[in-house]
Each structure stands twice: as C-alpha cells, then as structure tokens.
Structure 1
Amino acid sequence: MRRNWAARLRHGTIDGLRAVTLENERLRVGVLPGKGGDVVEFLHKPTDTDFVWLTPQGLRDPRDHLHGAADGVAQFVDHYEGGWQEVFPNGGAPSEYQGARLAQHGEVSGLPWECEVVADSPEEVAVRLSVRTRRLPYRMEKVLRLRSGTTALEVEGRATNESGLPLHAMWGQHIVYGPPFLRPGARIRLPEGVRVIPHESAITPPARRVRAGGPWEWPLVPADGGGVTDLSVVPEPGAPSDIVYLTGFNKGWYEISGDIAMRVEWDASVLPYLWMWQEVGASTGYPWWGRAYTVGLEPFAGMPTDGLAAAVANGTALTLKPHETKVLSLRAEVRA
C-alpha cells in the first residue's frame, strides 16, 4: 500500500534518470539507480538541511559518453553533479590495469544499476542496487536501508570478483559536502591516532614516506607558506585546493559539523583510508571555474588519486581472490 507516513519509498525520474527516494519522518534520501546509484539528496527534514553538495552544472545523463565519446577525465567530470558516488574499481585519475583502460573514478559511477525493493513497510524501507562492470569481471551490490524514526541511512555493499584470477581494485565512497550546510569554520572530527599523508608523500613508495615529510598527526599538515595547516577547520573561500590521505583508523568514523552534524561510520578493515579533498574556489580553470565550495570526506580502499595502477604499485589497492566477495558496512547519520 502506498504510504505518505512512517517509512516509505517513491519511484520516479529526475531529469530523465531513474530515481528512488527513501523517506521517513525525519530524513529523505534521493538515489539514482539510473546513474551510478548516486545519492543526490540527503535532507534532514526538521531543519530543512540537505547535506548533499550539487555542482552548478547540475545533473546530466552520462549515457552519451558510455561508448567512448569522452576522454578519461571528462567521462566522469562532465557529468558530475556532486552528491555521493560509489567508486569502483578505479579511484582518481584514469589508469590502465592489465590491458583495461579505466576512466576517472570508473566504472560503476557512470553505469545504470538494477534496482529491486527488499523491504517496504512502515517500520523500514530498503532497496538493493546491482551492476556488473564492463572492463573488469566484477559484480557490485549495495542495499540502502532507512528505518522509521531515525536519521541514519544504513548501507551494505558487496564487491565480487567473478573470475578465477586474483584481481585488484580501488573501492571508495565519494561523499562531498557543500553550502548551505558547509561554511567557513565548520569542524571535522576524527578518531585519535589518525595520521595524515600529504599527496606528495603518498605517491612515493611506503618506505620513503617518512623521509618525504609524512605522515603527520591529525589535524596538522605542512602549509605552502611554511608552518602548518589545521585540517579540522573548514577554510574561507579562496583557500588553496588540496587533497590528503588519512589512515590509522581503529574504527572508521568522522563527524563534520556546523549547526548540525553528519557522522559517517564504516568498516576500516575494508576501506582503511579517508581521502580529504577541498575545493573552495581557488581553482579558476576547468572544471570548477571558481564556483565550487566543497569538502570531500571519502572512505577508500587505496591511495593516491593517481588511479588503480598507482595503488597496485604502492601496495594499497584492494585484492580480491578468485570468486571472493568483499562486504562493506557503512552508516551515515544526521546528529542535530
């Protein structure tokens, strides 16, 4: 029975792409099975706060680039609407792995996913999204669940190697935040003992990272002009663009807060790194043109952003044995 109360589901389209909405008394989550399973709305209803950052270009259908019309960067960036993407099996820049050329953050973020309802009651709603990659022999699934009365989205993801060979992958949750929730002075909290690896240190072999000046203890990293930068405070518009990698999680979690907060928890044994990316207006060329004010806090299975081949070379890529399935649990909760 169709409901407009308690936990409920809605199916439809957004800008021509298949969409499903999970909603309860306190939260509304919009998901696009038609485009990578992207989360394009994460609205806390009591305060009318949407944690999703949307780019100025808005939502674009990626299907015109599925047959090679775009270069490896544009295939993702030209259709990047912000929000939250599943990234697999390549993270960051285009890369080549065992003869397969992989686009930026490819493949699953640009593919349509199948969607089936697995729970639909006043107590909880849940959908299962699934997709097979086209260039590597993987199957991805994720179940998104919302329970009545809560402000938490629960996610269980599965990555399966469907071949008889061992394979590598980068698996990440490309979660970004923007205005009006995100503003200068917002705070980021992480567990004690987390370390920061600057990007220039991450691209060197592990044995050389200490000599390259890292890792640093959270929240401090070297600043371009000397001294250190405090990463726990979201900067003013125009601050330098940057990306660093955080590791050393006994338990995977972070909180980012202004007037209210988002807490994300995940299995750090599967995704042991957190990519922290900020683009707050300093980049005035393609693709941002000075219009972005966003911070990404992205649990990942490897680093750096140079792509799968680089993660394999430095030993941080995820390894899946023949026919093995990796399972990831994640929870994103609003705390008012």
Structure 2
Amino acid sequence: MSHLHNDRNYGCRIKTELVYKGYSMVVLENEHFRLSILPGKGTDIIELLHKKTDTDFNWFTYLGLRKKEAAFTSFQMQYEGGWQEILPNLSGEHLHNGVKLEAYGEVSLSEWSYSIVKDDPEEIAVKFENNLRSMPLRIEKLISMRNDQAGFDIQETLYNTSTAIIMLDWGHHITFGSPFLQPGTRIELPDSRDAYRVPEPKSPGGFEVFPCDIGSYRLINPQGIGAEIKWDAGVWPYLWFWRDYGESTAAPYYGKHFNVGLEVFSSPPASLLQDNVIKGTAICLPPMGEKHASINFSVIN
C-alpha cells in the first residue's frame, strides 16, 4: 500500500494515513469539493461535501458509523448509510456453488488496498484494489478529481483471475438524506420519466426498480442545490429507487429516517445470485476476462 505523496494545502490534494472511528480513511479534495472514503470499510464513501454551500449529500443512519465489533459483522449491522460498492452478489447471505456469500457481497465488508496514481494541483487520482475471497475476482477502482470539478469520477475494472466462467452481480448502493434532501426535492429519473417530488416527513416510503437505457439521474432541492449521477447503463442497467420517510416504525430504522436510495446494479433484486443467473441478468465473466465501468458524481448549483 503506497501512501507517499506531496503534502499540499492548495489545488487538488490528497490526505492519507488517516483513521476515523477505527477505519483507515482517504480524503480527496479541491477548492469546490471534498470526498472522504473508507478503504478500511469497503471503500464506503462517507462524505460528499460541496464547499461553497456547505452541503453534504451523504446520508447517515440514526446510528451512523460504528466501530467494527465481533458481535456485529453483517452488512446491515455495520451499515452507516452513505455509498457502498456491492460485489459479487446483491442478496442476503447464502451459498453459491458451495461457497458462502455474505449479504450484499464481501467487498463492502472488507479492507481494500490503495495507491496514489496522480498527485498534482490540477488533478489527483487514487487506485483502490480488492482481491475477493469468495470468488476468483479482483476489482480495481480509480477515483479521480480535477481542480475545476465539483465532484469526481470513478473508473473500474473487474478481473476474472481464473480459468473458470464466473457469474456475479455488481453495483453501487447510493443514498441521499437530510439536510440536503428536503420535502419538495425534485428527482429526475432516467428514460424521460416524470420528475418525482420528495414528500413531507412521515409519508409512506416505497421501492421500485427501473430498467435504464440512459444512465443518469438528478436530485435538486428547493434551494437549487443538487447532484447528478451518470453511469454505464450497459454494465449497471437497473436503477433501484427506495425511500424511507419515517412513516414505518418497523425494524431496522424505526421511523427515525428521511432518505432515498438511488442505486445502480447489474440485476434486479433476487433472493439468490443463482436466481439472476437463471434469469440471465447476472454478469458473465469468461476465463481471465474483464469488465470495465464508470460512474460520475457532479454538483448542480
């Protein structure tokens, strides 16, 4: 793991060797935006801060980020909100080809290595890597930021490191919450669907899945502050749209939350990875094959 780079307090800069609540943390920032990532916890993104308006688009659960404890190791017990990489399965804990798959995939629960690829005042880039245990896969994620950019870019490559055919699901579990998310926030969904308006607290929530030919959506709150996500719809052709406005007092959130999830995945929800294999939505990686994808986050203001 390489951390050597030039200390700098202007332009684009990177902060490494940080520890937050027991997890290693990397910060990428410029004069417009700050991005905080936890390679010690699945490369979770826990800060999406637009500096000019002091707006953090990130959402936290009512418990927030907790230190890892032996009694609470599952995705849900460690879930703090924010943004997670999900691989190689989207469903609950189960066996696939005789191998135990953790709920929502192991990469969101494990530590990634990282190295600094570019460190200039005009542009920075950090590469994060994870070699999976449950499948012969390696994922490389390059996160970059330019000095004129209020946002960031992610370029990813997924490698099959074996001579076997590997079936998998993959995607990004992205959530937004208050104070950015407010009643009246407009959500512009892909494929020319009518804009959705976020209701008042204690309204009923919901869950829908949209097949997406166009990989983009936007959220804009009543103050005109917003975010746009663009992604490779050819790799992640399904948008999962879930929302919790505190109407339900059932577990796991007990009426405490006001948030939406707008998550991009390779498949619709399924109980087992094998279900998506049978339906033909799972990604098929040939022996020693690879898959490339990208995603961009931009502030609207």
Q: Tell me which interval the TM-score lies in, with the shorter structure as reference length.
A: over 0.9
Q: What does residue 200 of structure 1 align with?
A: none
Structure 2: which amino acid aligns with 1:134? R
- Is 1:9 matched up with 2:23? no
Superposition pairs for residues 148-297 of structure 1, below 5 Å? 148-192=147-191, 218-219=193-194, 232-249=196-213, 251-258=214-221, 259-297=224-262
- What displacement does 1:191 show? 3.2
SS in structure 1 of the partner of residue 296 of structure 2? strand
Give me the whole-angstrom Cα distance separating, in 2, the residues matched to 1:93 and 1:186: 31
Bigger mean CA offset, 151-160 vs 36-45: 151-160
Q: Which runs of 5+ in 1 are unaligned?
A: 194-217, 220-230
Give me the whole-angstrom Cα distance separating, in 1, the residues matched to 2:186 and 2:162: 44
Q: What does residue 114 of structure 2 align with?
A: 115
SS in structure 2 of the partner of residue 77 of structure 1? helix
Give me the whole-angstrom Cα distance separating, in 2, the residues matched to 1:19 and 1:109: 15
SS in structure 1 of the partner of residue 287 of structure 2? coil
SS in structure 2 of the partner of residue 86 of structure 1? strand
SS in structure 2 of the partner of residue 140 of structure 1? strand
Q: What does residue 35 of structure 1 align with?
A: 41
Give me the whole-angstrom Cα distance separating, in 2, the residues matched to 1:33 and 1:254: 26
Give me the whole-angstrom Cα distance separating, in 1, the residues matched to 2:206 and 2:283: 24
Superposition pairs for residues 121-132 of structure 1, below 5 Å? 121-132=120-131
| Root mean square deviation, CA, Å | 1.6
The percent of aligned pairs where both chains have the same amino acid is 39
TM-score relative to the length of structure 1:
0.83
Q: What does residue 332 of structure 1 align with?
A: 297
Structure 2: which amino acid aligns with 1:124? E
Deviations 1:48-91 (A, max 9, x none): 000000112121234x45xxx65xxx600111111100000111
TM-score relative to the length of structure 2:
0.93
Cα separation, partners in 2 of 1:307 and 1:153, compared to 1, 3 Å: farther
Deviations 1:108-134 (A, max 9, x none): 000000011001110111110001111
SS in structure 2 of the partner of residue 108 of structure 1? helix
- Is 1:76 matched up with 2:39? no
- 8 Å contact from structure 2 (residues 34, 48) kept in 1: yes
Structure 1: which amino acid aligns with 2:208? V
- What displacement does 1:282 show? 2.8
Give me the whole-angstrom Cα distance separating, in 1, the residues matched to 2:276 and 2:247: 28
Q: What does residue 3 of structure 2 align with?
A: none
- Is 1:318 matched up with 2:283? yes
- 8 Å contact from structure 2 (residues 212, 233) kept in 1: no
Aligned length: 293
- 8 Å contact from structure 1 (residues 304, 310) kept in 2: no
4+ runs of 1 displaced by more than 6 Å?
none
Give me the whole-angstrom Cα distance separating, in 1, the residues matched to 2:247 and 2:276: 28
- What displacement does 1:310 show? 2.3
SS in structure 2 of the partner of residue 47 of structure 1? coil
- 8 Å contact from structure 1 (residues 34, 111) kept in 2: yes
Structure 1: which amino acid aligns with 2:8? R
Residue among 37, 58, 71 paired with 1:52: 58
Structure 2: which amino acid aligns with 1:3? R
- What displacement does 1:305 show? 4.7
Structure 1: which amino acid aligns with 2:220? S
Give me the whole-angstrom Cα distance separating, in 2, the residues matched to 1:33 and 1:270: 23
Q: What does residue 210 of structure 1 align with?
A: none
Structure 2: which amino acid aligns with 1:91? L
- 8 Å contact from structure 2 (residues 60, 81) kept in 1: yes
SS in structure 1 of the partner of residue 276 of structure 2? helix
Give me the whole-angstrom Cα distance separating, in 2, the residues matched to 1:34 and 1:18: 5
Q: What does residue 97 of structure 1 align with?
A: 96
Give me the whole-angstrom Cα distance separating, in 2, the residues matched to 1:120 and 1:106: 31
SS in structure 1 of the partner of residue 7 of structure 2? coil
- 8 Å contact from structure 2 (residues 212, 239) kept in 1: no
- 8 Å contact from structure 1 (residues 303, 317) kept in 2: no
Q: What does residue 143 of structure 1 align with?
A: 142
